[in-house]
Structure 1
Amino acid sequence: MTLTELKYIVMLAEEKHFGRAAERSYVSQPTLSVAVKKLEEELGAAIFERSKSAVYITPIGTQIIAQAKRVLEQANMIKELASSGQNQLKGPLKVGAIFTIAPYLFPFMIPALQQITSGMPLIIEEDLTENLRPKLRNGELDAIIVALPFHEPDVVTQPIYEEEFVVLMQKGHAWAQLDEIQTDQLTTDNLLLLGKGHCFSEQVLEACPLINEAEFSDGRTIVNGSSLETIRYMVASGLGVTVLPKSAVTNIDRSLLDVRPFAQPAPRRTVALAWRASFPRPKAIEAVSQSIRDACKKLDL
């Protein structure tokens, strides 16, 4: 039994597809398949059930995979402990962030981090919260930047800043004559939001409870987009309006778009930094935390 084999079964359990698991493990599919089969034979237990179209985890496999994750986490801690004796601000730090934070925060955060650490490099990954969560737990990421609420055992979550939501509309839109927008106005135009899986859309709908398909008038509806940048282009074309975090409107084209705040109390989100409680580079975490705070000043948050 090797750590590599344990990593393969964890990847396969997450992806439930040999091809995708092999791709994430940077090996060929036959290599991963042979390794998984070899481990099952060594243990004398079937970890997975295989069919032509799907991979299922057996009951005993669920227990084995849970233990494998713990073993991998402990093994990763050994590497981190070894490196912690060195300069904590020297080696690369693996940081993840959700799609609605990364493109707007990092351009201001990275220069601040460089000043604090004199050059600590970051390995950055953008993804959904549900995908960043397991990567933080198994050591693929050292820290993640997410919106609250976020709860995970043995993970420290530090709120960093609050960010109000704003309304983005096409230049010349009737709402541009207003100083602020009421949440119930959103049902009177097409509302463009991110698609399923993005927590920001869920936060918008939660903060503006009047928004549901039944409330929209004159054929207006909710339109889903794949990214905030794509949604901005659709708004600029006149398809409708959208709600964005304030940081996402820092560099918009004011010749095409207008921004208005919500009436108080404006909907908002709290952004936090999360890391494993056992992570042995606290100085690196503090540097990232401080660089986010410094970036907020530039973003006027």
Structure 2
Amino acid sequence: MDSSEVGTSFSPHLCMSTYGKLEIGAFGRNERCPSILAKGPSILAIVSGTGGRRFSRGRARGLIDVGLVTIWYDVALELRVMNLSGLSLRDLEYVVAIADHGSFVRAAEHCRVAQPSLSAQVRKLEALLGMVIFERTTRRVIVTVEGKSFVDQARRVLAEARLLFTIVQRSDKPFGGVLRLAAISTLGPYLYPRILPALRKKYSGLALVLSEGLTGELVPKLIDGEVDAVLLSLPQTDAALASTAIFFEPFLLACPKGHPASRKGGPTWDALDAEERLLLEEGHCLREQALAGCSAPGRTNRLATSLETLKYMVAAGEGCTLVPALAVSERDAVAYSRLPGTTFSRKVGLAWRKSDPRAMEFSALSESLRQIAKSFDDVKAT
């Protein structure tokens, strides 16, 4: 039997959903082949041409042997070789940036690339994968259901890829010479100035890259490898992270000068009316800790975006709030009073990825921070 015997009546149609399941069918020579496994002396390729996807055309000639039937063929095939040659880490960075920013334009700005180039590369990636990652509308970009799984995995791949640089760049210097340290926004501005002189002295060859943010923002960044460690309020519950306590920080009650709560025997935080309690916006762990100290939290619309704004509101007579001890300053135009017990306090610690090969260095850093904290009058080292 030669190829002429096949004629135009049919050509091989081999659908393969997994490597272990194979179906054989036939279709006319002029029809599009949805899926072909082409196997011969020198080629093995899983191909797909459904859904209007466009791939480079190849011409296969020879013998298909699938173990069940042997067919001679001489047909033009649309081939898509499933390997990693068409996939790059830069492509994954584009995809994650688009998902994070919800916009091709903002993603291009973040990645410092021209927007048309980014869009073209993502379309090329979608064609390679045979899936639509983003639903494009005139107003915004939406991650598709199957695209979400891809984006989540892309984040993990990028995080692991960054570890390669960590391993390669490791030297005799601590943390390979660079440490990206983040802190929650109610802690960083007040703790950094106190710890930096001692850290510079102990880690003289270390370049510190500092940042701040909300817990809900910093933990994903830590998991994704965008920062190396985070100073935050414990406990943290993510199984991918390791953490250790450094110090306990009490909260002080901040009231307008002359307010009854500022006097000895006056009402405490729990006894204040709900409308008198000033809180941070949602997303701040300090907000949740302040509410946890109330037996009847109530509801209030009196919110602020930062601790400093809260203090300004208190000074203006708007109400009272809780302020962490490290954030208290003699320049604040408010009256502070200590609260009894340990209910109104937080445990501050350092968190890092369990997968990070520098675990021993983070433990050593934690101990250094603990020793530094012992010199603070307003906190208690663990």
Instruction: Judge same fold: TM > 0.5, yes or no.
Output: yes
Q: Contact 1:96–1:126 at 8 Å: present in 2 too? A: yes
Letter aligned with residue 192 of structure 2? F
Structure with the largest fraction of strand: 2
1:74 is the counterpart of 2:160:
yes
1:252 is the counterpart of 2:330:
yes
1:233 is the counterpart of 2:312:
yes
Structure 1 residues 61 and 203, CA gap change in structure 2 (3 angstroms): same
Letter aligned with residue 349 of structure 2? A
> C-alpha deviations, 1:34-92, integer Å up to 9, x for none?
22222112222111111122222222212222222222122111111112244225612
Q: Higher RCO, 1 or 2 (CA under 8 Å, sep at least 6)? A: 1
Q: What are the equivalent positions in structure 2 for 1:183-198 lying under 5 Å apart?
A: 183-187=269-273, 190-198=276-284
Quote the Cα distance in structure 2 between the aligned partners of 1:195 and 1:95: 24
Determine the structure 1 residue equivalent to 2:252.
Answer: 166
Q: Contact 1:162–1:269 at 8 Å: present in 2 too? A: yes
User: Which sits farther off after the overlay, 257-266 or 139-148?
Assistant: 257-266
Q: What are the equivalent positions in structure 2 for 1:78-93 lying under 5 Å apart?
A: 78-89=164-175, 91-93=177-179
Offset of residue 180 of structure 1 = 7.1
Structure 1 residues 146 and 19, CA gap change in structure 2 (3 angstroms): farther
> 130, 145, 151: which one pairs with 1:44?
130
Gaps of 5+ in 1: 214-220
> C-alpha deviations, 1:141-193, integer Å up to 9, x for none?
01111112322232212122222211111223232221675332222762221
Determine the structure 1 residue equivalent to 2:374.
Answer: 297
1:206 is the counterpart of 2:284:
no
Gaps of 5+ in 2: 1-86
Offset of residue 106 of structure 1 = 0.5
Structure 1 residues 186 and 23, CA gap change in structure 2 (3 angstroms): farther
Q: What are the equivalent positions in structure 2 for 1:16-165 lying under 5 Å apart?
A: 16-89=102-175, 91-165=177-251
Q: Considering only CA atoms, is the larger Rg found in Structure 1 or Structure 2?
A: 2
Q: What are the equivalent positions in structure 2 for 1:213-292 lying under 5 Å apart?
A: 213=299, 221-249=300-328, 251-253=329-331, 256-282=333-359, 284-292=361-369
Determine the structure 2 residue equivalent to 1:5.
Answer: 91
* SS of corresponding position for 1:299: coil
* SS of corresponding position for 2:343: coil
Aligned residues: 292
Letter aligned with residue 281 of structure 1? R
Q: Contact 2:247–2:347 at 8 Å: present in 1 too? A: yes
> C-alpha deviations, 1:180-211, integer Å up to 9, x for none?
75332222762221112212101111222322
Quote the Cα distance in structure 2 between the aligned partners of 1:244 and 1:158: 23
Offset of residue 266 of structure 1 = 3.4
Quote the Cα distance in structure 1 between the aligned partners of 2:356 and 2:166: 7
Q: What is the TM-score when the length of structure 2 is the normalising length?
A: 0.71
The RMSD of aligned alpha carbons is 2.2
